[in-house]
Amino acid sequence: MAVRCLLLLLAIFLVSLAGTTAHGGETWSPVPALMVFGDSLVDIGNNDYITSFVKANFPPYGRDFKDHVATGRFSNGRLLYDIIGEKVGFSGSPPAYLSPQASGQNLLIGANFASAGSGYYDPTAFMLHVISLSQQLDYKEYTSKLAAVAGSSRAQSIVSNSLYIICAGANDVGLSYYINPLLFKTQIAGQFSDRLVGIFNNTVTQLYIMGARHVGVFSLPPLGCTPLAIMVSGLGRSGCVPRLNNDAQRFNSKLDAVVDSLSKRYSDLKIAVLDIYTPWHSLATSPGSQGFNEARRGCCVTKDGNGKFTINGQGMGISAVLLCNPLSIGTCPNAKKYVRWDSLHLSEAANRIIVDSIAEGINKLLV
Whole-angstrom distance, CA of residue 52 vs CA of residue 117: 10
Q: Rounded to 5 degrees, what angle do the CA atoms 286, 287, 290 make?
A: 105
Active-site option among 132, 172, 342, 343: 342
User: What are the helix and strand counts (H, E) for the chain?
Assistant: 15, 10
Per-residue HEC secondary structure of 172-214 comes to HHHHHHHHCHHHHCCCCHHHHHHHHHHHHHHHHHHHHHHCCCE
DSSP structure class, residue 226: S
Give the active site residue among 115, 193, 214, 345.
Answer: 345
Closest CA to 139 of 35, 284, 40, 292: 35
User: 107 near 185, Cβ under 8 Å?
Assistant: no
Helices (H), 60-103: 80-87
Backbone phi and psi for residue 297, each to the nearest 5 degrees, phi listed first: -125, 150
CA distance 290 to 193: 31
* Helix/strand/coil for 166: strand
Active site residue 260: no
**Separation of alpha carbons 199 and 137, rounded Å:** 12
Report whether 323 contacts 301 (CB < 8 A): no
91 to each of 22, 86, 99, 196, how far by Cα in Å?
Answer: 10, 6, 18, 35
Candidate list 39, 40, 176, 275, residue with the active-site label: 40
Catalytic, 256? Answer no
Q: How far is the C-alpha of 287 from the C-alpha of 282, rounded, in Å?
A: 7
Which residues form the catalytic set? 40, 342, 345
